């Protein structure tokens, strides 16, 4: 007998050990997310995937699915909160989308569109953050880092290295790299590492690839993030 949960009233099968996110993705149900990546260990920090499980808020990307769970995902109340959380990520950093090379390919921007975010709502923090363009092939623009740790985890779990880490406390969180100089060029990062490609925003960019695809022809210029996400993250999409 298959075990099941319900998400917004729809019955969804799951296997022991699966998170709500994994079960949902396998059933072609999109739950908004930024710090989750199916090939990396769950983290649970962005809180965009917050769902209501039997009335309680839980992070879908970390919470194990279990028999009898009644999950609310795509409701107005939940999406309103998700929109505000996305706005928090925008005001915390410096995200000037029109001048960013990632625009149109950026998951933060795409999720903001998906959640119908039309303004920043909160006052901007305008933090002073640096760039690191020292590496021959890869650059970091700290202005756009949302501390999702995808690069940290990809480097450790996929590339077998330890290039990135998040340091600091509270609002002073920042990305650091594993080199005495503190510069990316002195790490063992290679441009083909997964860590160099996993960033959901424009914080880590590959040099000399900018604007090869014109704005207007980019991924999220034509597809909503929910569809893209299911196509890329569910191997059995549409079956």
Partner 1 sequence: MQVFIENLAASHNYQPTRLMLILRAIQDRYHYIPEPAIRQLAGLLKIPGTQIIGVIEFYSFFHLTPRGQYELLISDSITDHMLGKHNLMAYLSAKLQVAVGAVRSDGLVSLDNMSCSGLCDQGPAGLVNGYALTRLDRPRIDLITDLINQQKPLDKWPGELFQVNDNLIKSGLLLDDPIAPGDALRAAFKRGLQETLAEITQSGLRGRGGAGYTTGWKWHLCYEGPEENAFCDVDAQKQLQRYVICNADEGEPGTFKDRVLLSSYAHQVFEGMTVCAAIVGATEGFLYLRGEYLFLYDKLQAILAERRQADLLGGNILGKGIAFDIEICLGAGAYICGEESALIESLEGKMGIPRNRPPYPVTQGYLGKPTVVNNVETFMAAASIAVNGGNGFANMGTEKSKGTKILSISGDCSQPGIYEYPFGATIQTILNDCGADDVLGVQIGGPSGTFISNQELGRKLAFEDLATGGSFIIFNNSRNILDIVHNFTHFFAHESCGFCTPCRVGTSLLKQQLDKIVDGHGSAGDIVALEELCQLVKSNSHCGLGQTAANPILTTLERYPELYQSQLKKISYEPGFDLDGALETARRMAQRNDAAAHLEQIGEDHE
Binding site for ligand SF4 (CB under 6 A): 95-97, 100, 102-103, 106, 108-109, 144-151, 175, 198-199, 201-204
The answer to whether residue 47 forms part of the interface with ligand FES (CB under 6 A) is: yes
Residue by residue, DSSP assigns 168-182 as SSGGG-EEEESSTT-
| Chain centroid, CA 187 distance in Å | 24
The secondary structure element, H or E, covering residue 22 is: helix 20-26
Cβ-proximal residues to 1 (8 Å cutoff; 6+ apart), any chain? none
Segment interacting with partner 1 (CB under 8 A) among 7-15, 23-31, 56-64, 105-113: 56-64
CA distances from 133 to 139, 140, 153, 203, 236 (A): 5, 6, 22, 11, 39
The two three-digit tokens of residue 4, written as one number: 């099941």
Q: Which is nearer to partner 1, 99 or 167 (CB)?
A: 167
d(CA 29, CA 37): 15
Question: Residue from 17, 170, 214, 216 that binds partner 1 (CB under 8 A)?
Answer: 170
The two three-digit tokens of residue 129, written as one number: 């953050």
Residues binding partner 1: what is the number (CB under 8 A)? 38
The secondary structure element, H or E, covering residue 43 is: none
With CA atoms as reference, report the closest residue to 220 among 108, 145, 117, 139.
108
The answer to whether residue 48 forms part of the interface with ligand FES (CB under 6 A) is: yes
Name which of partner 1, ligand SF4, ligand FES, none residue 103 binds, using a CB cut-off of 5 to 8 Å depending on partner kind.
Answer: ligand SF4
Question: Residue from 99, 160, 171, 216 that binds partner 1 (CB under 8 A)?
Answer: 171
Q: Which is nearer to ligand SF4, 20 or 175 (CB)?
A: 175
Name which of partner 1, ligand SF4, ligand FES, none residue 183 binds, using a CB cut-off of 5 to 8 Å depending on partner kind.
Answer: none
Interface positions with ligand FES (CB under 6 A)? 33-36, 44-49, 59, 61
Give the binding site for partner 1 (CB under 8 A). 42, 44-48, 50, 57, 59, 62, 64, 81, 84-85, 88-89, 91-92, 122-123, 125, 146-147, 162, 164-173, 176-178, 180
């Amino acid at each position: 007998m298959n075990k099941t949960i319900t998400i917004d009233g729809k019955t969804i099968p799951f296997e022991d050990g699966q998170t709500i996110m994994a079960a949902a993705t396998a059933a072609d149900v999109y739950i908004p997310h930024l710090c989750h990546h199916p090939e990396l260990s769950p983290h649970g920090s962005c809180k965009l995937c917050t769902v209501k499980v039997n009335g309680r808020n839980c992070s879908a990307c970390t919470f194990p699915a279990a028999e009898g769970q009644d999950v609310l995902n795509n409701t107005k109340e939940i999406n309103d909160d998700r929109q505000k959380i996305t706005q928090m990520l925008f005001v915390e950093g410096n995200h000037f989308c029109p001048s960013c090379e990632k625009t149109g390919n950026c998951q933060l921007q795409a999720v903001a569109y998906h959640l119908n975010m039309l303004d920043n709502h909160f006052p901007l923090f305008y933090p002073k953050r640096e760039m690191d363009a020292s590496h021959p092939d890869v650059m970091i623009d700290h202005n756009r880092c949302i501390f999702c740790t995808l690069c940290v985890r990809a480097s450790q779990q996929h590339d077998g290295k330890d290039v990135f880490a998040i340091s600091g406390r509270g609002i002073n969180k920042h990305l650091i790299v594993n080199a005495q100089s503190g510069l990316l060029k002195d790490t063992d990062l290679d441009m083909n590492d997964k860590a160099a490609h996993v960033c959901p925003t424009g914080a880590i960019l590959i040099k000399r690839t900018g604007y090869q695809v014109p704005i207007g022809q980019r991924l999220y210029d034509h597809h909503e993030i929910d569809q893209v996400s299911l196509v890329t993250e569910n191997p059995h999409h549409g079956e």
